[in-house]
Copies of this chain bind each other. A is one copy, B any other.
Amino acid sequence: MTTIVEVAKRAGVSMGTVSNVLRGTARVSPNLRKRVAAAIRQLEYYPGRVPAHLKVKQTCMLGMILPDITNPFFPEIMRGAEDRAFERGYLLVTANTDEQVNRELQIVSALRSRRVDGILLAASACNDTRHIHAAMEAGIHVVCLDRTASGVDTDAVLLDNVRGGHRCVRHLIHANYRDIAIITGPLQLQSANERFQGFKDALREAKIEPTRAWILQGDYRRESGYRLGKKIARLRNRPSAVFVCNGMMTVGLLEALEDKGVRCPEDIAIATFDDLPGGSTLHRRLTTVVQPSYEIGSRAASILMDRVEGKLTGPSLTVRIAPTLSLGDSSHAEAGKSTGSKSKRRSLTSVSSR
């Protein structure tokens, strides 16, 4: 492997000079600069950042820990983060936890040993966050994404889940559904809890008493949507609408309903969090709370790099991002026969008007 010394020798200068032209640290005479450039080209020298890191305490690598990139919610987040990172010369080291704290622990450890400058974390549902604490104490910046790590004071970029759930359910109520079931996420997860809260708020506002049997706890995964969908289909007093707290569960729910011959929206209305996998268009019949995932990743990465570079200091920040309500016809019984009407997508704020 070619090193800086060889380049220096070849160009007949000192390694300090080579370093200087490479990094622009100091002014170098055009003459030498040219010779160095030539040597670099001839030797195909590739400056290595690894040893550099020993001096300059930066690797320009960010860890990105996600539950599962296979969940279509996350790739967009990753793109958002990557695009910002790449612009600023950072690379992303990514890993999936499958929601297992144990794995999260190993990953954090692996990232620390590689000396990443910071970590973007969509924390697994668990109260044991000692590893996060430890990392932060060691000076590694952490920005939480989508969900916070419980009991740790980090920067965070989160969706305004309460609001999303609230508006979504309110929409159902306004559309004249009053018997509304909910399929929640795993309630130990902050986001799931908040969406549930939004649901309850909306019911309370409308003075609707929540029905026990219509509160079904899922785990954000397809299987649970399927299982609970079957349960709903079998219910003697079936709700007229379901609010589903994420996209994967909605996929499962739709399968279950199809299997049971329950039609949407004729027999039951659906409104859900998350675009379904593949973008909304294919499923434009669904009414969904759309999360600006790309922006979530993008904002989080920017904050993280600002911290790393010292451009951002002070107490930790929490950014709440507003979701958007996309109106399909899964929540309008009379629209059942519609053929291919485009869904309207409005900013949530504007939806507040009836």
Give the interface of A toward B (CB within 8 A).
1, 44, 46-51, 53-54, 59, 61, 68-70, 72, 74-76, 78-79, 82, 86, 89, 91-96, 106-107, 109-115, 134, 137-139, 222, 251, 254-255, 258-259, 261, 276-279, 281-282, 339-340
* Interface contact B59-A69, CB-CB below 8 Å: no
Residue ID in chain B nearest A49 by CB atoms: B113
Inter-chain contacts of A113 with B (CB < 8 A): 46-49
Residue ID in chain B nearest A78 by CB atoms: B69
* Interface contact B95-A93, CB-CB below 8 Å: no
- Given A251-B279, A278-B72, A340-B259, are A110 and B82 neighbors across the interface (CB < 8 Å)? no
* Interface contact B93-A92, CB-CB below 8 Å: yes
Q: Which of A49, A277, A278, A340 has the most CB of B within 10 A?
A: A278
* Interface contact A92-B91, CB-CB below 8 Å: no
In the bound complex, how far is the Cα of B268 from the Cα of A167, in angstroms?
Answer: 40
Q: Which of A91, A112, A276, A281 has the most CB of B within 10 A?
A: A91
In the bound complex, how far is the Cα of B44 from the Cα of A113, in angstroms?
Answer: 12
In the bound complex, how far is the Cα of B285 from the Cα of A47, in angstroms?
Answer: 53
Partner of A44, one of B53, B138, B339: B138
* Interface contact B258-A340, CB-CB below 8 Å: yes
Identify the 7 closest CB pairs spanning chains A and B, nearest first: A277-B278, A277-B277, A258-B340, A69-B75, A70-B75, A49-B113, A94-B94
* Interface contact B251-A282, CB-CB below 8 Å: yes
Q: Which of A48, A61, A113, A139 has the most CB of B within 10 A?
A: A113
A332, chain B: closest CB distance, angstroms: 18
A285, chain B: closest CB distance, angstroms: 10
Inter-chain contacts of A340 with B (CB < 8 A): 258-259, 261
Inter-chain contacts of A53 with B (CB < 8 A): 50
